[in-house]
């Protein structure tokens, strides 16, 4: 673990009270870990908005009875080439399939691919989560 620095923060009592309630409801055991996570999140959003490579996890739920839908999604993944690291398919029930597609690349390109997949008729739910290894947060790379 990296060397720790101690800092003091001044906050309005009311704000601190609300923060303590929030972190307790999320299961944090102390403020330090909650602050660290908030800082990491802010730094990560900077990385994501930059041109640096990130990892995207796209979750899709779609009706596989619609003609050509599965093939269309597969074709788009082949078209994205090496950006797609892995894809997992789960048959949810008689109608619906869940697919999780893990991609690596620039956030703009990952968002474009995700938006195109989400816009296809028959894709009923979906969400893209962008993240990275955290290495870029530590060293500023
Ligand atoms: Ni399926």
Tell whether 139 is covered by a domain.
no
pLDDT at 134 (0 to 100): 67
Model confidence, pTM:
0.75
pLDDT at 59 (0 to 100): 97
**141 residues of the chain, pLDDT tens digit each:** 678 899 998 999 999 999 999 999 999 999 999 999 999 888 888 878 777 889 999 999 999 999 999 999 999 999 998 999 999 999 999 999 999 999 999 999 999 999 999 999 999 999 999 998 766 566 544
Looking at the structure, do residues 30 and 88 belong to the same domain, yes or no? no
Cβ 104 vs Cβ 53: under 8 Å: yes
Distance 123 CA to ligand 1 centre (A): 13
Distance 60 CA to ligand 1 centre (A): 11
Distance 32 CA to ligand 1 centre (A): 43
pLDDT at 49 (0 to 100): 78
Tell whether 38 is covered by a domain.
yes
Domain range enclosing 123: 53-132
Percent of the chain residues topping a pLDDT of 70: 94
Looking at the structure, do residues 59 and 30 belong to the same domain, yes or no? no
Looking at the structure, do residues 67 and 127 belong to the same domain, yes or no? yes
Residue 59 sits in a domain whose CATH number is 3.30.70.1150
pLDDT at 15 (0 to 100): 95
Q: How many domains, the chain?
A: 2
Looking at the structure, do residues 106 and 77 belong to the same domain, yes or no? yes
Looking at the structure, do residues 86 and 33 belong to the same domain, yes or no? no
Looking at the structure, do residues 23 and 80 belong to the same domain, yes or no? no
pLDDT at 114 (0 to 100): 95
Distance 23 CA to ligand 1 centre (A): 38
Distance 66 CA to ligand 1 centre (A): 12
Residue 140 has φ and ψ, to the nearest 5°, of: 75, 15
Looking at the structure, do residues 122 and 65 belong to the same domain, yes or no? yes
Looking at the structure, do residues 44 and 69 belong to the same domain, yes or no? no
- Looking at residue 12, what DSSP letter applies? -
Residues in contact with 122: Cβ distance below 8 Å, sequence separation at least 6, in sequence order:
62, 63, 66, 69
Burial of 103 (0-12, 13-18, 19+ CB in 10 A): buried
- Looking at residue 28, what DSSP letter applies? -
Tell whether 24 is covered by a domain.
yes
pLDDT at 42 (0 to 100): 86
């Amino acid at each position: 673990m990296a060397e720790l620095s101690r800092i003091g923060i001044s906050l309005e009592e009311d704000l601190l009270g609300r923060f303590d309630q929030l972190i307790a409801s999320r299961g944090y055991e102390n403020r330090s870990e909650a602050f660290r996570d908030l800082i990491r999140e802010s730094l990560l959003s900077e990385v994501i908005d930059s041109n640096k490579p990130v990892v995207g996890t796209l979750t899709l739920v779609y009706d596989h009875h619609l003609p050509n839908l599965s093939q269309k999604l597969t074709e788009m993944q082949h078209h994205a080439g090496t950006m797609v690291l892995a894809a997992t398919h789960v048959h949810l029930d008689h109608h619906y399939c869940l697919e999780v597609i893990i991609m690596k690349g620039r956030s703009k390109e990952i968002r474009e691919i995700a938006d195109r997949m989400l816009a296809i008729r028959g894709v009923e739910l979906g969400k893209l989560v962008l993240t990275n290894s955290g290495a870029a947060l530590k060293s500023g790379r």
